[in-house]
Amino acid sequence: MTPKDPRPTEEPHPPVPVLLDGSQLTVDQLTTLAREPVVVAPDPAALDHARRSWETAVRIAARQPIYGRTTGVGGNRDTSVSDGVEQDLRLLRSHATGSGPSLPDHVVRAAMIIRVNQILNGGSGLHPDIVTALIDAVAADELPAVHARGAIGTGDLSAFSEIALGLMGETPLRDGRVVPRWTAHQGDALPLISTNAMTVALAATATDSVANWLEHSLIVGVLSLLATRSSVEPFAARVQAARRHLGQEEVAGRVRELLADHDVRAARVQDSYGFRALPQILGATWQALQRLRGTLAIEMNSSSENPLISVEDDAVFHNGNFHGMPIALAVDEAKLALSSAALLSQCRLANLSDPAVTGLRPFLADGPAGSSGTMLLEYTTSAAIAEIRMAAAPGSLGHTVISRGTEDHASFASQAATQLTDILAQSRIVLACELISAVRALGQQHRDLDTDTELGAYLHRARTCLDPRTTDRPLSDDLKAAVKFLEQLPNPEKDTAR
């Protein structure tokens, strides 16, 4: 029998909360915080500012009309209301009208964290106890069920109405529990839901995955470069210095870094765009992604409410800060850029299928003459590219006139953010097809890379997850495994700090 340890058992230390102050939340911080239940806390000075914003709103409402607080909303803007919090409850219940599937937990969690940070920015006029309710719900993993559809880029009204009802205990949470955490105060409804936080959350969490895909795409492209015996001249520092686009220089530098310890022998004077223009296209995509992240950071640290309550001026400003056009345009640019990067992968796949380029059999076939090898991967990529092309259409081109003509423009930023996630999913399929082909081609060339190098270690991990058989057979399981591989970090050892 093992004797009992006489030392006292130490109580586990509570997690140190992450402080939110309404002005310094970054996209990287957000995506990290949103992965799991997390303890966040308001900066005391920011919380005091939010409290004074509420006091200011109450004071101003006693002397003049305020949209959504003393009046109806939308086409009811000229209707005075005088039944206190009952109007707020009606507004939340009527606007909690979404459709489609439920949003994933990490997106809902991110949206709730963003909304806390925005409220702490001080312009909402919300009673500050909503901050506590949102923070406690995130820490306890008590996430409301939120539908994915319903917004048009002028505020995530339905999504945050569903969050409000979940916090109030009027609707079940994602796990079926009913946990009342919050009671609405008079005037709270519109300020809570007048935000693009859900759209920002969807786009922000997607940017993390897009960045991961871009790094995979670069490495897979380098493997394909080796398999197709392509030239390294397009990646020379002198070439990049002649144009000076930052993203292009970064990508070319990474290619040189990956190839530094490997023997590269070019079979041609000049290669197809899939290799020759890789720095230009992936670099431009990287820059578009950075611009999107910058726009989202502004949104996360802003007061986008209508009306805006100004403590400093003791005034209310009716405005259009809720309009999502800056988000829509930035997301649309990222969508188009990612689409072109996926097309580049399809171009490289075509090279890998060509015996004149690889020195191997057509479609990397193995077995009797006429074997098809990887032929169907080209069909798979073409189908995925068709899906990408449809999703890449700018969401910001949308138009609508609703609520008796009082709301006559919309950004459709929400649709653009959803399309970005759709394009990313299809881009993984395209890149998976290239990865399977590059790994097979290098194997048929008996090309082994030193596993002590970054590129060699990547190739080894990819080979481990793929079926080594090269005879004609279904490749669906290989595709599934390759997509899963591409969802992971490209270099786990190097990226453990992410």
Rounded to the nearest 10 degrees, how much is the dihedral formed by the CA atoms of 353, 356, 357, 359?
90
The amino acid at 292: L
The answer to whether position 492 is within a domain reads: no
The answer to whether position 332 is within a domain reads: yes
Whether residue 5 has pLDDT greater than 70: no
Both 404 and 382 in one domain: the answer is yes
pLDDT value of residue 11: 54
pLDDT-based confidence at residue 13 (cuts at 50, 70, 90): low
Length reported for the chain: 498
pLDDT-based confidence at residue 106 (cuts at 50, 70, 90): very high
354 Cβ contact list (under 8 Å, min separation 6): 362
Given a contact cutoff of 8 angstroms between Cβ atoms, the answer to whether 134 and 115 are in contact is yes
Both 212 and 254 in one domain: the answer is yes
The domain boundary residue, chosen from 172, 195, 218: 195
Domain coverage including residue 214? 207-303+318-487
The answer to whether position 435 is within a domain reads: yes
Whether residue 199 has pLDDT greater than 60: yes
The domain boundary residue, chosen from 195, 220, 248: 195
Both 190 and 226 in one domain: the answer is no
Whether residue 145 has pLDDT greater than 50: yes
Both 176 and 236 in one domain: the answer is no
Q: Which two tokens stand for residue 118?
A: 């925005």
The answer to whether position 246 is within a domain reads: yes
Average pLDDT score, the chain: 92
pLDDT value of residue 4: 46
* pLDDT tens by residue, 271-317: 999 999 999 999 999 999 999 999 999 999 999 889 999 999 999 99
Both 365 and 256 in one domain: the answer is yes
The answer to whether position 18 is within a domain reads: no
Cα dist from 189 to 130, 169, 195, whole Å: 11, 15, 12
Mean pLDDT across the stretch 187-208? Answer: 95
Both 98 and 136 in one domain: the answer is yes
Both 106 and 238 in one domain: the answer is no
Both 298 and 360 in one domain: the answer is yes
The domain that holds 221 is classified in CATH as 1.20.200.10
Mean pLDDT across the stretch 1-16? Answer: 52
Both 150 and 284 in one domain: the answer is no
158 Cβ contact list (under 8 Å, min separation 6): 95, 96, 97, 98, 147, 150, 151
Q: Would strands 40-42 and 99-102 be described as parallel, antiparallel, or unpaired?
A: unpaired
pLDDT value of residue 12: 55
Cα dist from 320 to 153, 289, 308, 428, 454, whole Å: 12, 26, 10, 37, 49
pLDDT value of residue 95: 92
Percent share of the chain, pLDDT over 70: 95
pLDDT value of residue 496: 43
Whether residue 6 has pLDDT greater than 70: no
The answer to whether position 309 is within a domain reads: no
Both 211 and 190 in one domain: the answer is no
pLDDT value of residue 169: 97
Q: Would strands 99-102 and 308-310 be described as parallel, antiparallel, or unpaired?
A: unpaired
pLDDT value of residue 77: 81
Q: Of the given ranges (124-128, 319-323, 328-332, 483-487), which has the lowest mean pLDDT?
A: 319-323
Instruction: Quote the CA–CA distance of 414 and 103 in Å, as a whole number.
Output: 13
Provide the number of structural domains found in the chain. 2
pLDDT-based confidence at residue 80 (cuts at 50, 70, 90): confident
* pLDDT tens by residue, 401-459: 777 766 767 888 899 999 999 999 999 999 999 999 999 999 999 999 999 999 999 99
Instruction: Quote the CA–CA distance of 131 and 100 in Å, as a whole number.
Output: 28
Both 276 and 151 in one domain: the answer is no
pLDDT value of residue 493: 72
Q: For the chain, what is the radius of gyration of the CA atoms?
A: 27
* pLDDT tens by residue, 246-273: 999 999 999 999 999 998 989 999 999 9
* pLDDT tens by residue, 395-413: 888 888 777 766 767 888 8
pLDDT value of residue 226: 97
* pLDDT tens by residue, 64-75: 998 888 887 877
* Positions of E strands within 252-400: 308-310, 315-317
The answer to whether position 168 is within a domain reads: yes
Whether residue 7 has pLDDT greater than 60: no
Both 161 and 211 in one domain: the answer is no
The domain that holds 44 is classified in CATH as 1.10.275.10
The domain boundary residue, chosen from 133, 166, 195: 195
Percent share of the chain, pLDDT over 90: 82
* pLDDT tens by residue, 464-477: 999 999 999 999 99
pLDDT-based confidence at residue 497 (cuts at 50, 70, 90): very low
Mean pLDDT across the stretch 22-31? Answer: 96
Mean pLDDT across the stretch 41-64? Answer: 95
